[in-house]
Amino acid sequence: MTAHEPALELRLITKRFGDLVANDAINFDVRRGEVHALLGENGAGKTTVMRIAYGLTQADEGQILVGGRALVVRSPRDAIAAGIGMVTQHFSLVAPMTVAENLALGRSTGLRLKPGEAGRDAAAVSERFGIRVDPSARVEDLSVGQQQRVEILKALSRNCQILILDEPTAVLVPAEVDALFATLRELVADGLSVVFISHKLAEVRAISDRVSVLRRGERIGTVDGGTDERELARMMVGRPTFGVDRPTDAAQPSGAPILRIRGLSADGPHGLPALSDVSLHVRGGEILGVAGVSGNGQTELVDVLSGMRRPTAGSIAVTDVELAGADPGRMMGAGVGRIPEDRHASLIGDLSVAYNLVLEHLDDFRRGGRIDERGIRARAADLIERFDIRARPDDPVATLSGGNIQKVLLARVLSRGPRVLVVSQPTRGLDVGATEYVRSQLLARRHDGTAILLVSEDLDELLALSDRLIVMYEGRVVGEVAGADADLEHLGMLMAGRGRAA
């Protein structure tokens, strides 16, 4: 096989789910020693077509070729045997096991794993690819970002010839993205073929040789990796889409803070300290961004502020009402709304859109001990229209795209008019159009005077939205800077535990 011949080729791949055509005669190929990016809005069909290539889903029509030879892929085992590896958006790790044990699964030749050997192998893999993880840590104790790193290492460690990466950088900070890209470039130079699925256009341009765009199940076209971001966005959504502008008449932060935190401490898994003496405040009409490498206390901060975790010390006040240790119901009653980092965990996939929209205040729809079904449907119809949710009230939430699932969550929280909004990773895994929508909703709430605490590992997002930024490292606030004065290098140093607080 020459460098210009396809390592993996998909011919006329078609997949239907009932009346929905997820993939409509898709043609796609990735050559030996190249990065071919796959772009498209949520629901465009890009993940489905790659799940077919990896054996997680079966095509209704079409053909898969590896090295020019037709291949029947009935399961990931068949794909791995053919040299195909994949990092999926939803983790496939075994939560009670350690990082080292997860990396060793499927590669052990005996009936037992050897902990010492597995640990050394995991440390070597981590060092080789420049992605730092603790081999002895249990996966269930890791943050979402840390688990994603383990998934990437697991795929890279299997010596695959064709690597499919589905949103691999969604939870990595810039330095880690740079390290991953450097590794990919070295592997590609040695002949690895990479399919790179991402919603971050700048990353696609930085790493890809070619870009194919899907829209509503069809391939719109394939262009050079250096194609202008505006053109890529236009191909994705069918119209020019680029950036989010702040409202020019936005309310300016003023007066006493609506949210004030003093000396907050909290434990993480197994009673280990996760937050230490954290103090901050957020005024109405202000977005306070929280930057930091995943696993430095951001998740625990969000959990404490939403009543999901009890603090061990400190004060949390919303308009001078003390809420430290309050449960989620009392937090919501005090006007605190929460958009969590794991949108799937906050919704019930088998329940309808209508019921998910009222889950947190279902008692409002009880009439004499009976559920007011008509009222729930009317509420759903109103929110579906207001928040542009592309679904019907009776659709199970699990059938929606990632962007529409996030809209359901936004509608449920924002429709109640919270005075304080705690938001974590609001656009992770979303396409350009959905990201634009979510950010515009946050800016609209800022304009209306809501105090917003925004936790994100996307520095571009923080810089675009935040009035002020704080940096967390090892559970402490180690720096603060005005959004207009934020410097990526300075932020990066603080996130790495170096540099001096502003």
Inform me whether the pLDDT recorded for 3 exceeds 70: no
Residue 44 predicted with pLDDT over 90: no
% of residues, the chain, pLDDT over 70: 89
Q: Report the length, in residues, of the chain.
A: 502
Residue 239, pLDDT > 60, answer no
At position 467, the amino acid (one-letter code) is D
Dump the DSSP string for 98-147. Answer: BHHHHHHTTT--SSS--HHHHHHHHHHHHHHHT----TTSBGGGS-HHHH
Q: List all residues 6 or more positions away from 299 whose beta carbon is below 8 Å from its beta carbon.
A: 143, 144, 341, 424
* Cβ neighbourhood burial of 400 (10 Å; 0-12, 13-18, 19+): buried
pLDDT at 153: 84
What are residue 386's phi and psi, to 5 degrees? Answer: -65, -35
CATH superfamily of 6-237: P-loop containing nucleotide triphosphate hydrolases (3.40.50.300)
Rounded average pLDDT over 353-381: 88
pLDDT at 173: 63
Which phi-psi region, left, alpha or beta, contains residue 161 (left: φ > 0; alpha: ψ -120 to 50)? Answer: alpha
Of 279, 286, 182, 327, residue with least CA distance to 480: 279
pLDDT for res 470 = 94
Q: Locate the domains of the chain by residue range.
A: 6-237, 259-495
Is the pLDDT at 108 greater than 60, yes or no? no
Q: pLDDT digits over 310-319, tens only?
A: 999 999 999 9
pLDDT digits over 439-484, tens only? 999 999 999 999 999 999 888 889 899 999 999 988 999 999 998 8
- Residue 398 gets which letter from DSSP? G
| Candidate from 76-85, 110-119, 146-155, 217-226 with smallest mean pLDDT | 110-119
> Do 6-237 and 259-495 show the same overall fold?
yes
Structure tokens at 89: 């958006």
130 Cβ contact partners less than 8 Å away, ≥ 6 residues apart: 179, 180, 182, 183
* Residues in CB range of 498: below 8 A, 6 or more apart: none
pLDDT grade for 499, boundaries at 50, 70 and 90: low
Q: What is the pLDDT of residue 42?
A: 65
- Cβ atoms of 48 and 10 closer than 8 Å: no
For residue 313, the SS3 value is strand
Instruction: Tell me how far apart the alpha carbons of residues 172 and 149 are, in angstroms, rounded to a whole number.
Output: 8
Q: Please report where in the chains the tokens 């892929």 appear, as a residue.
A: 73
| Position 49, amino acid | V
Class of domain 259-495: alpha beta
Contact (Cβ atoms closer than 8 angstroms) between residue 377 and residue 393 = yes
What pLDDT sits at residue 500?
54
Count of other CB atoms within 10 angstroms of residue 496: 13
> Residue 310: CB partners within 8 Å, gap ≥ 6?
266, 304, 325
